[in-house]
């Protein structure tokens, strides 16, 4: 197998895009463009390429090919710099920034909206992903482990595209229950997007150190396999002490290498099963690899926008009655009246709520799976659905005045725990040991 190329969606549904080109590029195999500041706008089925206010080219799609490739990504001579790229879409730290990319880039017009696509080799893409997902100052064995996880996930998705037309699944069982899960949508015009929905890819923007580049080089072509198939590896920031199983977050398909494990050296301790045991687990502070307050390590592992989040292992929030009923009506389109209770109907082995029953004075409704629950209970995303709920009442009142959420972890918790993996590496574990911990039964294989 030869190293494949990947098409990454950088921007979508844009009315205009502004960018700067560095170095000579060939446009649509016809025109040699010098570096400079450009913008594009749709015009019917065409796209106008503008330099200042002057239209310099027009076609149905635009493809920019650099005259040469870069020898050194840290001092790239041939690149393009894009304004207002949104990162952390729908998360609490969402923001826009200027980002730089190398390789081929294309702009297409879909019904009057513009999409910017970057075409690049998989290994070059992964060097950026590792630097974008986590800080490239992270422990080196951790960066190697993440390289294998990200490569495995990507190649598994490319293989899966051959058989799956649309990977978002939705179930409305009856008028009182809605179970939805969101997977990596099979994008129509490109393979993966550039944000957390798929994998963070910020091009050259954070490639400032050699560690991430070297980690990808040393693991080049290596993936995790199970039964001779590339593993559909998943990862999140912090599992909260116990990893979750695939089928409790996405479609009902059991993956043996994505089973629930304690994020600790000792795997003999029994996992919680009852609601009381889950409450004790979530409200306590059990030992786990991802249970760290090591500020020095976290500053090396997390990027600046992730460091905004301080309480990722255990957290607590309060939502007042009016805010909760307003939020649920906005997110679900249902007037519940006053919220009387929120009851976990089903949990995964990590404590993540898979089904949540909302009981109001006007009606009851059950929602799932975990991401739908997190979206419904927060303006952006709740850190995770591993929580226990404590209603608070005023004297002689049967309706809670507020709800306290005691929570664990950050993200869906399936597979690789990023903070846990970094701690393992800091304690001297090599990348193979880290991967075998989070993906039991899988093996490493070099496929190109």
Specify if 167 maps to a domain: no
- pLDDT at position 43 is 96
Q: Compute the Cα dihedral for 343, 345, 350, 352 and give only its sign.
A: negative
Look at residue 303 in the predicted model and tell me its pLDDT.
65
In a domain, 331, yes or no: no
In a domain, 375, yes or no: no
d(CA 14, CA 374): 27
Specify the pLDDT at position 306: 64
CB 367 within 8 A of CB 376: yes
Residue 110 domain-assigned (yes or no): yes
> What pLDDT score was predicted for residue 171?
64
What pLDDT score does 16 carry? 96
pLDDT at 311: 83
Residue-level pLDDT at 83: 87
393 in a structural domain: no
Of 6, 13, 1, nearest to 157 (Cα)? 6
Burial label for 371, CB within 10 Å (0-12, 13-18, 19+), is buried
pLDDT score, position 165: 44
Report the pLDDT value the prediction gives residue 164, as an integer from 0 to 100: 46
- Greatest Cα pair distance, the chain, in angstroms, is 78
Task: Give the pLDDT score at 125.
Answer: 92
Domain count across the chain: 1
Residue 398 lies in a domain: no
Residue at token pair 């009852």? 274
Give the chain's residues under pLDDT 50: 164-168
What's the pTM value of the predicted model, to 2 decimals?
0.89
Res 166: pLDDT: 46
Q: Which domain holds residue 54?
A: 6-120
Q: What pLDDT is attached to residue 92?
A: 53
Q: Residue 200: inside a domain, yes or no? A: no
Q: Is residue 265 part of a domain?
A: no
């Amino acid at each position: 197998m030869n190293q494949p190329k990947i098409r990454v969606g950088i921007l979508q549904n844009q009315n205009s895009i502004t960018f700067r080109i560095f170095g000579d590029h060939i446009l649509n195999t016809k025109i040699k463009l010098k570096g400079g500041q450009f913008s594009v706008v749709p015009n019917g089925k065409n796209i106008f390429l503008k330099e200042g206010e002057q239209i310099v080219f027009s076609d149905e799609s635009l493809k920019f090919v650099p005259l040469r490739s870069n020898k050194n990504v840290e001092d790239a001579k041939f690149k393009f710099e894009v304004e207002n790229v949104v990162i952390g879409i729908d998360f609490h730290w969402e923001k826009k920034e200027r980002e730089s990319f190398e390789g081929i880039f294309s702009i297409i017009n879909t019904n009057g909206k513009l999409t910017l696509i970057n075409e690049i080799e998989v290994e070059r893409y992964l060097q950026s992903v590792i630097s974008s997902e986590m800080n490239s100052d992270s422990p080196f064995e951790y960066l190697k482990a993440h390289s294998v996880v990200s490569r495995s996930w990507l190649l598994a998705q490319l293989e899966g595209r051959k058989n799956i037309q649309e990977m978002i699944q939705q179930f409305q069982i009856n008028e009182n229950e809605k179970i939805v899960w969101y997977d990596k949508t099979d994008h129509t015009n490109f393979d993966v997007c550039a944000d957390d929905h798929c994998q963070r890819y910020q091009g050259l923007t954070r490639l400032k150190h050699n560690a991430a580049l070297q980690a990808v080089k040393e693991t080049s072509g290596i993936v995790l396999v199970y039964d001779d198939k590339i593993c559909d590896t998943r990862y999140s920031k912090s599992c909260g002490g116990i990893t979750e199983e695939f089928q409790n977050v996405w479609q009902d398909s059991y993956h043996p290498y994505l089973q629930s494990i304690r994020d600790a050296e000792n795997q003999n301790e029994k996992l919680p099963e009852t609601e009381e045991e889950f409450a004790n687990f979530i409200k306590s502070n059990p030992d786990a690899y991802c249970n760290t307050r090591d500020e020095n390590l976290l500053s090396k592992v997390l990027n600046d926008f992730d460091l905004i989040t301080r309480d990722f292992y255990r957290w607590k929030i309060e939502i007042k009655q009016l805010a909760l009923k307003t939020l649920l009506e906005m997110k679900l389109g249902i007037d519940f009246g006053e919220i009387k209770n929120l009851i976990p109907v089903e949990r995964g082995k990590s404590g993540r709520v898979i089904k949540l029953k909302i009981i109001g004075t006007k009606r009851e409704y059950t929602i799932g799976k975990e991401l739908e629950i997190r979206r419904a209970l927060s303006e952006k995303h709740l850190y995770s659905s591993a929580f226990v709920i404590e209603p608070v009442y005023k004297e002689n009142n049967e309706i809670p005045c507020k709800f306290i959420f005691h929570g664990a972890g950050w993200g869906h918790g399936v597979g690789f725990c990023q903070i846990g993996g970094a701690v393992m590496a800091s304690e001297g574990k090599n990348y193979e040991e880290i991967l075998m911990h989070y993906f039991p039964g899988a093996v490493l294989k070099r496929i190109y």
